[in-house]
Amino acid sequence: MAGLFAVTIVRMQLSEEDRIFQSTILRFARERIAPHVRAMDEAGIFRKDLLKEMFELGLMGVEIPEEYGGQGGSFFQSVLAVEALATVDPSAAVIVDVQNTIANNILLRWGNETQKRRYLPRLAADTVASFALSEAGAGSDAFALSTRAVADGENFRITGRKLWITNAAEAGIFFLFANAAPDQGYRGITCFLIERDTAGFKVGRKEDKLGIRASSTCELILDDCVVPAANVIGEIGKGYKIAIETLNEGRIAIAGQMTGLASGALGHAIAYAKERQQFGKAIGEFQGVQFTLAEMATDVEAARLLTYNAARLRDAGQPFTTEAAMAKLFASQIAETVASRAVEVFGGVGFTKDYPVEKLYRDAKIGRIYEGTSNMQKLVIAKNLLSGSSRK
């Protein structure tokens, strides 16, 4: 019975173009993705036919300019897409998130024209991309990288191991970070574009996760992997800047994912509260349930406002780091809370896999962890407040 209830997003403060864009994605998510969510979650695999349809719909190249085969849309629209997909399946949302707000933006912002013309059309048409920063000893301390890149003529030889890499099972292109000058610390970190079939490069074990199970998370193994110097993104030693600025933007999309997840859970709870009968009337007529739904709706709306504000600041070229951290911190908190309350509204059946809320509850947990833990977001917010760099 998963996916039984229709889910809507409150369409506040959107232009007509953005409303149409959002409605199209919501319809796709309900009609094409929803019927397969439970099976994909249990198998831990995202269907290839759905991935192909996401490319055909333009969801994997939202901001890529039309001259490169993309949609020529905005960052805000990428966030809308992530939010809409997450109401049905947060796994689908994170696939689109990493492709757009992370991988595509790295190439758009730091790639040279040769790299853009070679890879952007592929990213828009049929090639999934992945962002490979984390390692066993480099999580929140993202720049304690042990992966090394050694210059060898017109190439680099890269050796190391990456962990917890999203989209790795499906990806054909990897934006991978390695230290090309370890004696210079984080100033040696460099971003390399690596194609999947590169000799010495291998996608390793896939993680068996609590939530967002259809989204692949794998290790990467590099053993004397030869990468042309022409595949350096930006400049040697600029990887730390690329990673920081990219993750600052990506956090807004994670806030969108968590907002969409919470919105989906709320929609299911409202629908069930109207249908479930106890003591001769719908449980939605009981004040206790009404208060719960009211609090859930308020949290979702607050998260949406924070997320949209951060996305619009980014599109306007205004400072947004504090707002992005606030949006991710709050949205990830309320996603977990709202999904938990949705399970409670459903009661005993909410604890079973026959209804979608238990999956949303499992999916919500990652929001506090990836692309910067909640504690890291608090540090960013506090640091900016104390330094006076925040407008708050």
Structure confidence at residue 3 (pLDDT): 45
Instruction: State phi, psi for 317 to the nearest 5 degrees.
Output: 75, 20
Task: State the fold for domain 16-128.
Answer: Butyryl-Coa Dehydrogenase, subunit A; domain 1 (1.10.540)
Task: State the fold for domain 130-237.
Answer: Butyryl-CoA Dehydrogenase, subunit A; domain 2 (2.40.110)
How would you label 249-263 residue by residue, b for 16+ Cβ within 10 Å and e otherwise? bbbbbbbbbbbbbbb
Banded pLDDT at 5 (limits 50, 70, 90): low
Banded pLDDT at 388 (limits 50, 70, 90): confident
Banded pLDDT at 392 (limits 50, 70, 90): very low
Structure confidence at residue 390 (pLDDT): 64
Kindly state the DSSP code that residue 372 receives in the 8-state scheme: S
Tokens of 141: 């301390």
Cβ atoms of residues 166 and 366 within 8 Å:
no
The closest of 317, 302, 320 to 252, measured between CA atoms, is 320
Q: What angle do CA 15, 35, 263 make, to 5 degrees?
A: 40
Tell me the per-residue pLDDT of 267-314, one tens digit each, with 9 for 90 and over. 999 999 999 999 999 999 999 999 999 999 999 999 999 999 999 999
Quick one: average pLDDT of 310-325?
97
Q: Is 234 helix (H, G, I), strand (E, B) or coil?
A: coil
Residue reference for tokens 């094409």: 32
Task: State the fold for domain 240-387.
Answer: Butyryl-CoA Dehydrogenase, subunit A; domain 3 (1.20.140)
pTM for the whole structure: 0.95
pLDDT at 186 > cutoff 50: yes
Domain ranges of the chain: 16-128, 130-237, 240-387
Catalytic positions, written as ranges: 371
Same fold, 16-128 and 240-387: no
Residue 38 CA to residue 69 CA, distance in Å, equals 33
Averaged confidence pLDDT in the chain = 95
pLDDT at 344 > cutoff 60: yes
Structure confidence at residue 109 (pLDDT): 97
The closest of 86, 25, 3, 100 to 259, measured between CA atoms, is 86
pLDDT at 1 > cutoff 50: no
Residue 330 CA to residue 158 CA, distance in Å, equals 38
Instruction: State phi, psi for 177 to the nearest 5 degrees.
Output: -105, 130
Give the rounded percent of residues in the chain with a pLDDT score beyond 70. Answer: 96
Residue 77 CA to residue 92 CA, distance in Å, equals 16
Quick one: average pLDDT of 44-64?
98
Strand ranges, E, within the chain? 129-132, 148-152, 155-166, 173-179, 189-195, 201-206, 217-228, 232-233, 277-278, 281-282
